[in-house]
Structure 1
Amino acid sequence: MKEILLACVGKPSAGKSSFLNAVSDATAKVGNYPFTTIKPNHGVSYVPVECPCKKYGKQDQCRPRYGRCVEGTRFVPIQMMDVAGLVPGASTGLGLGNQFLDDLRHANALIHVVDVSGTTDQNGKEAEGYDPINDINWLRLEIHTWITNNLLKRWSGIVRRHVAIKSNVVDTLQTQFSGYGSVASVVQKAMDKSGIKTPLETWDEETVKKVVDNFMDVRFPTVIALNKIDMPDSDKNITKIMRKYDQNKLVLTSALAENFLRKIRKQNYIKYIDGTDIVETKEDLPDSDLKPMDDKLKNRVEKVQDLVLFRYGSTGVQEVLGKAIELLGVSPVYPVKNVSTFSSTNSTKPGAFRDCILVWPGTTVRGFAKILHAEIDKYYLYAETVGNMRLSEEAVINNSNNVICYRTAIAISSKSSITNNDTNNNTPDKKSKK
């Protein structure tokens, strides 16, 4: 199964590297000058999803193998990438050129980090009163231009081949879009969204651009992270942007505030719950092992609380990840050995809901068996969910059936791969009882 990869994009100095550091284990270089990032930074982040441990009263027994679970919110690992800063004209070689656009080919969704304070211009240089709406517009235009130009350069040859072999439109376009990590279903969705029914050989340049526009929406769903919300001029820009763009794709963030809170939490000055406004100090918890803060540090914490946490409810960075996963439509699935205790077998750390795997929309029960392990699919007998309810092989996994136990004709060796092999405890080489 292809791992989920989110890419942070945007102009230099918008806060992309700070955002990556705030949501992952990466240590991306940060600076207030253009092109701090030259090569893509990679890290592992943890996206919040609902864990069934709370629904079934198993919070005390919930033991994630990877990530963590906090009061029924599961933090599941995903891959993150910080692409070097783009500037207007990157698709034609300006700035650091379009080599960094190529990095986007591998991403499933984009997080466009925008400096909403208006203190940096389109090239990432210090400025006053810059309108961040420009950044939202030109970045999409650069990616659109990059894809469109690649198509138009070869368009006459594409049309001739399309007519000669009597190919359908989706197959022809998929051949061209495959380099952007596309599959035929993505192209089909883009064509359905575009509403274009005319033969491909009659398309003009504007029609091609419309196809690319819809392809981008499907292939590169984008969350816009309005960063630096604690800066003086951010309020007026936020209001203006909220009026113009789809608010379901906008999230208010302060990556620097999140980094600060994570740092002093690690130093044991505070207890801080990610994605909330809850920050507790030694004064709040006098019997705890937290270290007392001096006046300078205390003032910094209070400033973050006043300008970010109490005002917006959180730093916003966890919400960005959740929104990206929502746009992709992926679902968390919890493979277990027992649908009553929700335990796994062959584990040195017993507990409930040990594993959580994110799957793509449309994944079926049998399809998930193949993802878990080839032998689970090979010796598959049946699958069941909570309440010992049998599941059809063709049932699509959703939030009502995402706790799954697989029964196989033989026991699957615990040495063969992940969690997935912990789903059965039948006697080797003997048929399971139904």
Structure 2
Amino acid sequence: MPRDPLIGIVGKPSSGKSTTLNSLTDANAKMGAFPFTTIDPNRATGYLQIDCACARYGKEDLCKPNYGWCSKGKRHVPIELLDVAGLIPGASQGLGLGNKFLDDLRQADALIHVVDVSGTTDSNGKATRGYDPLQDIEWLQDEIRLWIEGNLQKRWGTIVRRHTATKSPIVETLRAQFGGYGANMNMIAKAVDSIPDLPPLEEWDNEWITKMVKAFMKVKFPTVLALNKIDHPDADKNVSKILLKYPDTRAVLTSAITEVFLRKLAKQNYIKYEEGTEFIDTLEDLGEESGLKPLDEKLMQRVENIRDLVLYRFGSTGVVQVLQEAAKVLDLVPIFTVRNIQTFTE
């Protein structure tokens, strides 16, 4: 990858995309329970948590990286995130902010699809009850496919004539067409090789074009599902349906709004919170020597609800884990550089 990876945060309006961005970063993306809160794409730096090499050698106290930071053997590696405008059905035909969404999307190397599993927002992001979030997964992939496919179909006659005249390999011809989506030769070759019994390009009909676009999407836009709003009473049944329908898709249960709240309390010194875990400590837990501020009755009740409904039940808010899964689909490999392998300096 010739540049730092960019993870796109996608989904319909009001699904929790901007909240997810804020939970992963110190960004202040606008949040709101109404469609199209996000108009312009928000870029921010998130921090991917990985095991640092310092822990292997007992050097945690000496580890001071120039890139990100290390805390108790956990390295926080900067990674760029992009929260784009909400997508609605018909985006490939320009409905909503579809054209803008899809144009922003081409920059991304992988996607975190934030899905509202509470069923309290419809396909357009408007408040409702009992909506089936399975539909969101299906039509989002369809809209991206139709966008790419539509661009290809418009020029298909010219593409075939040029391919035949120049006698170019399929990969070379497709590179010229998919290059605008940030694809390279290796990506296209991988997509082509994944399709069994692929006929010569000049023999492709609409069905073969669709197969090619789907194969390209898997390579260009590997996706992790962030099943968000898991603390809602209706979430369990919807999560089960999604996991049964997409058993091979990476999915993480998340509560982004909970993560934002906990990080805010921690910054204000009301709690000690270990991100990515179930552990919260308050003044009552640690005593006055902790230096924590006391929580009033309302805040204490909210913290207890979070412990019971999210942290103890699911093990974390899931936000740290969803970024880790996005890094996995990109096959990112951490490199820990030092000048001297004996002293581990610089």
TM-score (structure 2 length as normaliser): 0.98
Give the structure with the higher percent helix: 2
What is the distance in 1 between the residues matched to 2:152 and 2:136?
24
What is the distance in 1 between the residues matched to 2:319 and 2:67?
20
For the residue of structure 2 that corresponds to 1:149, the secondary structure is helix
2:279 maps to 278
What is the distance in 2 between the residues matched to 1:289 and 1:67?
27
Question: How far off is 1:283 after superposition?
Answer: 1.3
What is the distance in 1 between the residues matched to 2:335 and 2:162?
43
Residues 1:120 and 2:82 aligned together: no
Q: CA RMSD in A?
A: 0.9
Matches within 5 A, 1:167-246: 167-246=168-247
Contact 2:10 2:87 in 1 (8 A): yes
Question: How far off is 1:67 after superposition?
Answer: 2.4
1:59-94 per-residue CA deviation (whole Å, 9 max, x = no partner) reads 111112232223322110011110000000000011
2:89 maps to 88
Q: What amino acid maps onto 2:72 in structure 1? A: E
Q: What amino acid maps onto 1:79 in structure 2? A: E
Residues 1:327 and 2:329 aligned together: yes
1:76 maps to 77
What is the distance in 1 between the residues matched to 2:198 and 2:337?
43
For the residue of structure 1 that corresponds to 2:164, the secondary structure is helix
Question: How far off is 1:187 after superposition?
Answer: 0.2
1:254 maps to 255
Q: What amino acid maps onto 1:69 in structure 2? A: C
Residues 1:309 and 2:291 aligned together: no
1:244-268 per-residue CA deviation (whole Å, 9 max, x = no partner) reads 1135510000000000000000000
Give the count of matched residue pairs. Answer: 344
What is the distance in 1 between the residues matched to 2:113 and 2:169?
34
1:162 maps to 163
Comparing both chains, which one has the higher relative contact order based on Cα–Cα distances under 8 Å and sequence gaps of 6 or more? Answer: 2
Q: What amino acid maps onto 1:151 in structure 2? A: L
Indicate how the Cα distance of structure 1 residues 247 and 290 shifts in structure 2: closer, same or farther if over 3 A, else same.
farther
1:349 maps to none
For the residue of structure 2 that corresponds to 1:84, the secondary structure is coil
For the residue of structure 2 that corresponds to 1:75, the secondary structure is strand
Q: What amino acid maps onto 2:286 in structure 1? A: L
Question: How far off is 1:197 after superposition?
Answer: 2.9
Contact 2:61 2:72 in 1 (8 A): no
Matches within 5 A, 1:268-417: 268-286=269-287, 287-344=289-346
Contact 2:34 2:125 in 1 (8 A): yes
Q: What amino acid maps onto 1:166 in structure 2? A: K
Question: How far off is 1:120 after superposition?
Answer: 0.3
Contact 2:85 2:100 in 1 (8 A): no
For the residue of structure 2 that corresponds to 1:110, the secondary structure is strand
Indicate how the Cα distance of structure 1 residues 53 and 218 shifts in structure 2: closer, same or farther if over 3 A, else same.
same
What is the distance in 1 between the residues matched to 2:146 and 2:41?
21
Q: What amino acid maps onto 1:298 in structure 2? A: M
What is the distance in 1 between the residues matched to 2:215 and 2:173?
16
What is the distance in 2 between the residues matched to 1:171 and 1:326?
28
2:65 maps to 64
Contact 2:225 2:249 in 1 (8 A): no
- Greater than 3 Å deviation, 4+ residue runs: none
For the residue of structure 1 that corresponds to 2:345, the secondary structure is coil
What is the distance in 2 between the residues matched to 1:267 and 1:307?
23
For the residue of structure 2 that corresponds to 1:159, the secondary structure is helix
Q: What amino acid maps onto 1:335 in structure 2? A: T
What is the distance in 2 between the residues matched to 1:198 and 1:228?
45
For the residue of structure 2 that corresponds to 1:99, the secondary structure is helix
For the residue of structure 2 that corresponds to 1:114, the secondary structure is strand
What is the distance in 2 between the residues matched to 1:263 and 1:148?
43
Question: How far off is 1:95 after superposition?
Answer: 1.1
1:421 maps to none
Contact 2:48 2:78 in 1 (8 A): yes
Provide structure 2 residue ranges, at least 5 long, that are not aligned to the other structure. none
Indicate how the Cα distance of structure 1 residues 248 and 123 shifts in structure 2: closer, same or farther if over 3 A, else same.
closer
Residues 1:48 and 2:37 aligned together: no
Residues 1:25 and 2:21 aligned together: no
Contact 2:60 2:73 in 1 (8 A): yes
1:265 maps to 266
Greater C-alpha Rg? 1
What is the distance in 2 between the residues matched to 1:108 and 1:84?
17
What is the distance in 1 between the residues matched to 2:197 and 2:39?
39
TM-score (structure 1 length as normaliser): 0.78
What is the distance in 2 between the residues matched to 1:49 and 1:156?
48
What is the distance in 2 between the residues matched to 1:196 and 1:113?
35
2:145 maps to 144
What is the distance in 2 between the residues matched to 1:73 and 1:284?
24
For the residue of structure 2 that corresponds to 1:39, the secondary structure is coil
